[in-house]
Chains A and B, each alone.
Chain A
């Protein structure tokens, strides 16, 4: 059996805003003039230079323009070649990194409307994440309320690094709204660049920034657990997207250890952090950061010790694997089946019509 026969649910593909101009029809008059008069043309993010090898696999790169901007190509690559039955698209875009939180709200609204009209309406196998202006929690909740009736929006999108750790109460209204609507919180690799991407300061290269994302995710999980956000919203699922996977066991061991020592500091954390992670946290498959050694992969999977944790994702069009080598050697057939389809169905209530 090839994994493609299973018709996987791809939990992370990317649709790209080529420039702010495409959003003009989705902005109201004030913001359309703002964007035009002030020359807000391009909010491409530092973390994904469009021409960098990471940002698009060579055979997925269009002849001109950015990868992830052409629906016909996306259909061919994601659905025909990689065989997905459904794919969730994430727009990682600069609206979430602006300081002007009202502008951010207007642009997030526009981007979600653009995704619905230009992508979801035209391709029924696509689903999307709600891009929210998390800079201002009230605005973010408004945007969730606006998008939630459209059940093709299946989760809420945040980035791995922001102004303040994601467990802080600032973000709780977002989590409350998400939980109420059956929307997981997706935390995607990326940064609003409010702080250096490492605790030691700003590294020189994209490579270091990208490697450091794993640390960013670890810190955010610790924050979500210790601030009590995950206990406060026990039905909430958090999906770490493009996070890497193999760091998870070491994270859980360390989190359990410090919890045993310091439980009294955050007594609302009333069970070992690893148990909370296994219940409420999911990780997408690619980039799968293990060596091509089935024995190592098997061992790491054993250490994660949950067949519900990993969700299939190609991270299209990012270049994380070649050909169709998206499933690492070392996943058992049973686990692969769960990863390919079942875990996504269990994580995303809004995909239930598929099951």
Chain B
């Protein structure tokens, strides 16, 4: 029997609304965003531009699977970048897949990875206003993420204060590869502000961090690098738990985006086992790490893990907890997951509702 045809046979209808927790918008023209920056930073952008801890200004050190990391069919008819054309996004994704709400994740400009902190802050402010004007206002199904200059927590908090409570913004946006692990104190002001405003923090895989993408050095190939998002996610969860961030701000909610999910149960088991042994090193951690994980973390499904036996996907969701799984498409990127075909087993109506909609609606307070 053809496994992949089974996938098709099990197609999940999208007649009920779907919340897509990962949509990537881009500006049709950089000027659309630059216009929101002070002249000084527009000039900086034109003359110097991005300055990363990475060899290339505009591309990844590992050539991606496809141009603009995108589905080959996601280029709008006007020839602009994938994800830059709202009418085309509506036609190809929002309407086709009955997306009731979509959470924008703004990777363009790689804000959190900029080495020039003032430039980073200027980009963040501009991107937030741009999300509102170009996406959330014209298309209320789309909810923004507050982009912050992560490495300058003071400026990051100012940006959070500026947008917190605005109904168009659903969460704070971060990428995990930074100067230090995410739980370290330099980032605590961000968590304090998120806690105060009860805003979820979406952590989307990626960023040009200060460190090799594996503990054993730099991999050669994209085929190796792509799965490292999963290991980065494990490191960020470990760091946030072990540094005590979740014991300090008990209402924090983190969404791990674009890291898959199959690794989640094993991380919890491993953390528990070794925490029990090394407890005396971290006496400030009083709650079982796997419990903290379940309480504070949500996981988006994309890129959907594909167990050899489809039923193991169900079992993985059982282990993680169905209330913590969120559908995400990653539109318009190449590793996009189609809500109809990504889950090759039969979902009960309750499971389907949780996975595709209800978990996200209650997490982000969508209405």
Contacts and interface: CB of A to CB of B under 8 A. Distances in A.
Contact of B239 (A53, A164, A208): A208
A195 B220 contact: no
A54 B277 contact: yes
Contact of B281 (A207, A220, A254, A299): A207
Contact of B274 (A163, A210, A249): A210
Nearest to B270: A289
Interface string A130-161: 00000000000000000000000000000011
Interface stretch (A21-29, A198-206, A233-241): A198-206
A293 to B, nearest CB: 9
A320 to B, nearest CB: 8
Interface residues of A, number: 70
A274 B305 CA distance: 14
Contact of A303 (B217, B281, B312): B312
Which of A196, A202, A256, A305: most chain B CB closer than 10 A?
A: A196
A278 to B, nearest CB: 11
A195 B306 contact: no
A253 B224 contact: no
Interface string A108-128: 000000000000000000000
Contacts of A218: 227, 230-231
Q: How would you classify the secondary structure of chain B's contact residues: helix, strand, loop or mixed?
A: loop
B218 to A, nearest CB: 7
Contacts, number: 242
B226 A305 contact: no
Contacts of B307: 249, 253, 303
Contacts of A320: 277
Contacts of B182: 200
B333 to A, nearest CB: 12
Nearest to B66: A261
Contacts of B308: 252-253, 256, 274, 303, 305
B213 interface: yes
Interface in A189-244: 191, 194-208, 210-212, 214-216, 218-220, 222-223, 226-227, 244
Contact of A212 (B213, B235, B269, B306): B235
Contacts of A296: 269, 319
A343 interface: no
Given A207-B275, A290-B269, A198 B215 contact: yes
A262 interface: yes
Contacts of A215: 214-215, 231, 234-235
B306 A256 contact: yes
B223 A226 contact: yes
Given A199-B228, A212-B215, A223-B224, A254 B260 contact: yes
Contact of A53 (B266, B278, B309): B278
Contacts of B181: 198, 200-204, 208
B65 A261 contact: yes
Given A216-B214, A250-B266, A205 B282 contact: yes
A198 B231 CA distance: 8
B161 to A, nearest CB: 26
A218 B213 CA distance: 12
Contacts of A166: 216
Nearest to B306: A257
B351 interface: no
Contact of B216 (A207, A223, A244, A274): A223
A193 B8 CA distance: 47
A253 B307 CA distance: 5
A199 B177 contact: yes
Nearest to B237: A211
Nearest to A169: B220
Interface stretch (B17-25, B93-101, B204-212, B293-301): B204-212
B303 interface: yes
A208 B242 contact: yes
Which of B212, B216, B226, B270: most chain A CB closer than 10 A?
A: B216
Contact of B231 (A167, A199, A244, A255): A199
Contacts of A219: 214-216, 219, 224, 228, 231
A159 to B, nearest CB: 9
Contact of A222 (B227, B239, B242): B227
Contacts of B312: 249, 299, 303
Nearest to A259: B223
A254 B304 CA distance: 9
A165 B267 CA distance: 22
24 contacts: A165-B216, A165-B217, A196-B212, A197-B215, A199-B211, A200-B176, A200-B180, A200-B209, A212-B234, A215-B235, A216-B215, A220-B216, A222-B219, A223-B220, A226-B219, A244-B270, A246-B269, A249-B307, A250-B263, A256-B308, A257-B303, A258-B227, A261-B223, A305-B308
Given A53-B278, A253-B307, A305-B308, 8 more contacts: A162-B216, A211-B270, A214-B266, A222-B219, A223-B224, A250-B266, A262-B223, A265-B223
Report, nearest first, the 6 A-B pairs whose CB atoms are least far apart: A250-B262, A198-B235, A219-B214, A215-B231, A262-B223, A289-B270
Interface of A: 52-54, 160-168, 191, 194-208, 210-212, 214-216, 218-220, 222-223, 226-227, 244, 246-247, 249-259, 261-262, 265-266, 274, 287, 289-291, 296, 299, 303, 305, 319-320
